Amino acid sequence: MNELNLFDTFSEFKELKNIDRKTMMRILEDAFRSVLIKQYETDENYDIIINIDKGDFEIWRNREVVADDEITEPNRQITETDAKAIDEDYEIGEEVTDEVKFSSFGRRAILSLRQNLAAKIMDLEKGNVYTKYKDRIGDIVSGEVYQVWKKEILILDDDNNELILPKTEQIPSDYFRKGDNLRAVVSKVDLRNNNPLIILSRTSPVFLERLFELDVPEIFDGLITIKNIVRVPGERAKVAVESYDDRVDPVGACVGMKGSRIHGIVRELRNENIDVINYSNNVQLYIQRALSPAKVSSIKITEETKQADVYLEPDQVSMAIGKGGLNIKLAGELTGYKIEAYRNIKDDEEDDVNLDEFADEIDSWIIDALKAIGCDTAKSVLELSAEELEKRTDLEVETIEDLLKIFKEEFEE
């Protein structure tokens, strides 16, 4: 293996890893000097000249001319006779510089250099990838799906760096095949066994925030601020926005004409429902907006416990709670208050009975299922038919019939 082979090998690394000229020079010189130390126990009296453009290098050794019988360090000294064989003008005490052919070091030394080069470049590349992505946490990246496994997806970016999208960071309805392009946000960067581990996420609220920044220029320009985002990936999200410019409607700008701006985000998130609301320092107004699309009649707030009791008309309760309690849960996370929804009691409903009072007759999970659809009293359940209750809950027909019987008997008494 000759010098050309070495530079061909290094050129391949350079092309693949995109290493800058200064770093290349440093890596090459360090590698050569490590071989010199092994061969001669020192590299102090050697000059290494590297020509990256031409792909060649030279090694020059500097030795002091001494009398023939006074030489003690052959690597640092040269006899007067040998010096004059190079040039008759050399005298004792002068310095002789001669070229050392790397090929004379032997096959093992050349192989060692090549391995050393490969190791240094690999370590440098790992460090570059780690540094690059450590600075990009929270940024959206695009890549091509290279391998799909049960618990994660391997993605390659434009530089063929490996990125990981765990199953836990995928939207439940995500489905990718090899060769697909996908977008995700960089959520975590670690070193595992000295290898960079870049973890992506499509479920993080930051991913939704970055999508808004990409699709809504007013957010990117700072005219609109995203105050908070909460989401259940693939199901529903709530985004609170605010504008310091009265001329800008933050909700309208985010949604776009006929939903033109938000449609692309919804598609990216697998048809996740996104509620965009105006942020407000007025807590009651903020909670009211957070429970959209339900219309709130009144709100009672207890600041000490961060509790908000919300009262609504009967037909608005289930809307405020949402499917599976999702709407009220997200509204609570968005505002920072624990929200409880209650029906406004009419005069003719004063003799109604709260469901919790039936705890000795009805299992708690059944009561919770009824509350999840907005029924918190016996009469509110009786207002619905057995067919409607079966449709809106997961309760069996026999269970529903028993419930209706219990509630009817309560008022017959």
pLDDT at residue 75, as a whole number: 83
Please determine, for residue 52, whether its predicted confidence score (pLDDT) is greater than 70. no
Q: Are residues 70 and 184 in the same domain?
A: no
Residue 181: inside a domain: yes
Residue 92: inside a domain: yes
Residue 87: inside a domain: yes
Cα 5–Cα 10–Cα 15 angle in degrees, nearest 5: 125
Dihedral class, residue 137 (left if φ above 0, else alpha if ψ from -120 to 50, else beta) = beta
**Where among 103, 131, 159 does a domain terminate?**
131
Please determine, for residue 53, whether its predicted confidence score (pLDDT) is greater than 70. no
**323: Cβ–Cβ under 8 A, 6 or more apart, which residues?**
none
Q: Are residues 192 and 80 in the same domain?
A: no
Percent of the chain at pLDDT > 90 equals 42
Q: Are residues 78 and 124 in the same domain?
A: yes
pLDDT at residue 1, as a whole number: 40
CB 320 within 8 A of CB 310: yes
DSSP-assigned beta bridge partners for residue 144: 156, 181
Residue 112: inside a domain: yes
Q: Are residues 87 and 180 in the same domain?
A: no
CATH of residue 69's domain is 3.30.1480
Residue 316: inside a domain: no
**Confidence label for 187 from pLDDT (cuts 50, 70 and 90):** very high
Please determine, for residue 55, whether its predicted confidence score (pLDDT) is greater than 50. yes
Q: Are residues 158 and 116 in the same domain?
A: no
Tell me, yes or no, if the pTM score tops 0.85.
Answer: no
For residue range 191-203, list pLDDT tens digits in order: 888 889 999 999 9
Give residue 165's domain range. 145-203
Residue 228: inside a domain: no
CB 381 within 8 A of CB 403: yes
**Where among 203, 218, 239 does a domain terminate?**
203
pLDDT at residue 30, as a whole number: 84
Domain count, the chain: 3
Q: Are residues 52 and 121 in the same domain?
A: yes
Q: Are residues 46 and 110 in the same domain?
A: yes
**Where among 182, 203, 224 does a domain terminate?**
203
For residue range 244-277, list pLDDT tens digits in order: 888 899 999 999 998 999 999 999 999 999 999 9
Q: Are residues 125 and 8 in the same domain?
A: yes
Q: Are residues 97 and 190 in the same domain?
A: no
Mean pLDDT over all residues of the chain? 86
For residue range 144-177, list pLDDT tens digits in order: 999 999 999 999 999 889 999 999 999 999 999 9
Q: Are residues 127 and 31 in the same domain?
A: yes
pLDDT at residue 166, as a whole number: 96
**380: Cβ–Cβ under 8 A, 6 or more apart, which residues?**
314, 317, 343, 352, 374
- Dmax (CA) for the chain in angstroms is 130
Residue 327: inside a domain: no
**82: Cβ–Cβ under 8 A, 6 or more apart, which residues?**
none
Please determine, for residue 217, whether its predicted confidence score (pLDDT) is greater than 60. yes
For residue range 295-324, list pLDDT tens digits in order: 999 999 999 999 999 998 877 888 898 888
Most confident segment among 139-148, 384-393, 396-405: 139-148
Q: Are residues 72 and 172 in the same domain?
A: no
CB 46 within 8 A of CB 100: yes
pLDDT at residue 142, as a whole number: 95
Residue 91: inside a domain: yes
Q: Are residues 103 and 164 in the same domain?
A: no
pLDDT at residue 395, as a whole number: 86
More confident residue, 48 or 290: 290
Query: Which H or E run includes 152?
Result: strand 152-156
CB 57 within 8 A of CB 48: yes
CATH of residue 191's domain is 2.40.50.140
The first and second tokens of residue 85, run together, are 């064989």
The first and second tokens of residue 371, run together, are 């509350």
DSSP 231-265: EETTTEEEEEEEESSTT--HHHHHH-GGGHHHHHH
